[in-house]
Structure 1
Amino acid sequence: MDKKNVSMNDVAIAAGVSLKTVSRVINEPDSVRESTRDKVHSAMEALGFRTNFAARSLKLGRYGCIGVVLFHLSGGAVDMIDGIADAAEERGFALTMIKKCAGEKMTLADAARRMSQLPVDGMIFNLRQMVDDFDAFEAPRDLKTVIITSIEHPTCSTVSDDQEGGARMACEYFLNRGHKNVYFVSGKKESLSSQCRMKGWLAALKAHGIEPPEPLQGDWNADSGYAAGLVLADKPDCTAVLAANDCMANGVMMALRDKGLSVPDDVSVIGFDDELYKTIPNSILTSVKFRHRELGVRALNEVVAGLEAPSSRSRTLVSGVLIERSSVKDLRA
């Protein structure tokens, strides 16, 4: 059989199902039993059948495709994309992706303009740093838009890791173990994640009536954490340090060691992102881990929900978890 001329009827005969069932598998996969879907998909693959998306869009009034704009590819973006892709496949959608190039100044309006010229039904923007038109941006009315960002948007739905909540959780962990104060090593000033983690740190200390010490400025890399650690080693009241990521936390621990201090006996340390174990064996670092894949799943489902039943702006927070190791000492004794 000429694979270029394979029809839905050919697929139906090969799968032993009706033509209507094949149509439902293509257009409404959730309405078909998994075993039947598997038979139809196997027949499609064997025959080389390809869905005619142009015809499908005319019938359904949609393209069956979600646009994803990647402003940044750091901070768990790969896991997030994996979640978006799996959720899209589960819901019967394809993906079209655009990535901001290094050095390119792309606003939300620029991204929407580029994506709206493509056959997509909705958009997801992955935003880790502020853009000039964040507050002023209004998404095209015919494209449900979700922004993955730590900052609430005036008109668009947003999905985010609960960065502030993660920092509060880490601080509470220290305080509940007898530490009287917590020092903070921040990431880059323009980073939304660092800003939110600092807000959570401040909120936790103020909730306990503790005057926050001056935060130390880092830039996400281990060297900046090391520099901060050298400063902290000379502060006799420093028993607990929260670093805005694991790389800086590792730098802090190395500096403390080089100054003759022990983690956790002299100073306790917590990081963020739970990345250190991937490169350093037997890591002792306790860390706040975010579920980046779940973030992608939530974002995709939010877009699809908006297509099926237009909804108002929403804010979704995905909570983090504290991965306990042995970098925090309990002072309650």
Structure 2
Amino acid sequence: MQDVAKEAGVSPQTVSRVANGSDAVRPETRMRVEAAMEKLGYRPNYAARALKHGRFQDIGVVMFNLSSFGNSRILDSIATAANDNGYAITVHSIGRGRDRTVQAAVERMKQLPVDGMIIVMEEQLSDFAEFQPPKELPVVLLSESPSRHCPTVDADQYGCSQAVVDYLLAKGHRTVYHIAGPATSRAAQSREQGWRDALSSRGISVPPLYTGDWEADSGYQCGLALAHEADCTAVYAANDQMAYGAMLGLRAAGKRVPEDVSVIGVDDSLAGTIPRLELTTMRMRFDRIGRRAFSMVRDLCEGTDVPTNVKTVIPVELVERDSVRDLNA
């Protein structure tokens, strides 16, 4: 910093103001300091900045799976929100094994220069109910279930299924079959329960459950089998990949979609990937989820209270295309 000050002909305090983004510097002085920084290869010392300001301006993000559609979109939105607010992110992936707990993830992040952390709870970890965040490291959970000790945010997984069943029954279908995601997934569990409860509350017997693994091939195999269910006129798959696979499986088995069987998915992950996409779906707003999670942890890091034991719910949106038939028409 002394070298930059000498090169630019200003005080070290002025260099510090420019490095920290202060507005209390004249534009021509800022340009002169930035030119000196560029010439000398100056980089701010973030460890020193953290000692001075008490924060690293970095948020840790813990995930189970970095490649799934929802998680990648959430991570992208967190990173964008962080950048917009002058923060960076540090990403950690939870591996397999006995250390697969919330506390283990927190202990890992406590070793890194982060101010707070977001945990994307794709699975229900064993210590979720009793976990309490350390005072020095605020924690926000992306969780289907609210936490007594941490702010939580997620899409309305349960309500999504309720809306799907309502939509299909309103179209004249007598029942709705479901292709669930893997049993380890909290989202899959909530979507399945919402489907069951929606049918049962209307006095409709719950048909046999089909289970996939989020991949299109598993949906295809379910579609082949569902083609032989005599009363199957509507299929609700827990994500778009399985829904699209189910459409192909149904057609391969001689069924027409939507003339014979209507199909609806969740997440709107195939838009822009499949040309002339006909799949009706429930769009999950992963961008809003990630941004909301970041704003919550940023507020905690900056001393603003955020309520716990209350889940912030991000609504889903129906996207109608051409895979659902109205039997009333």
Q: Does TM, normalized by the shorter one, top 0.5?
A: yes
Distance 1:122 1:243, change over 3 A: same
> What is the identity, as a one-letter code, of the residue corresponding to 2:21?
V
What residue ranges of structure 1 are gaps of 5+ in the alignment? none
TM-score, normalised to structure 1's length?
0.85
Provide, for residues 288-327 of structure 1, a one-character-per-residue CA deviation record: whole Å limited to 9, x for no partner. Answer: 2212222211111100111221333142222222221100
**Greater mean alpha carbon deviation, residues 140-149 or residues 172-181:** 172-181
Please, what is the CA RMSD of the aligned residues?
Answer: 3.1
- How much does 1:143 deviate? 1.0
1:104-123 mapped onto 2 (5 Å cutoff): 105-123=99-117
Distance 1:139 1:9, change over 3 A: farther
- How much does 1:51 deviate? 2.0
Distance 1:41 1:320, change over 3 A: farther
Provide, for residues 72-126 of structure 1, a one-character-per-residue CA deviation record: whole Å limited to 9, x for no partner. Answer: 2224222211111111122222222222246674211111111112221111112
Cα distance in 2 for partners of 1:137, 1:197 equals 25
Contact kept, 8 Å, 1:12 with 1:19, in 2: the verdict is no
Whether 1:185 and 2:182 are equivalent positions in the alignment is no
TM-score, normalised to structure 2's length?
0.86
| Equivalent residue, structure 1, for 2:129 | 135
| Equivalent residue, structure 1, for 2:60 | 67
Other structure's SS at 1:25 match: coil
| Identity %, equivalent residues | 40
| Equivalent residue in structure 2 for 1:204, among 198, 205, 211 | 198
Distance 1:277 1:218, change over 3 A: same
Other structure's SS at 2:194 match: helix
What residue ranges of structure 2 are gaps of 5+ in the alignment? none
Other structure's SS at 2:136 match: coil
| Equivalent residue, structure 2, for 1:318 | 314
- How much does 1:169 deviate? 2.1
Other structure's SS at 1:118 match: coil
- How much does 1:135 deviate? 1.5
- How much does 1:287 deviate? 1.4
Q: How many residues align?
A: 322
| Equivalent residue, structure 2, for 1:174 | 168
| Equivalent residue in structure 1 for 2:323, among 316, 319, 327 | 327
Cα distance in 2 for partners of 1:240, 1:32 equals 63
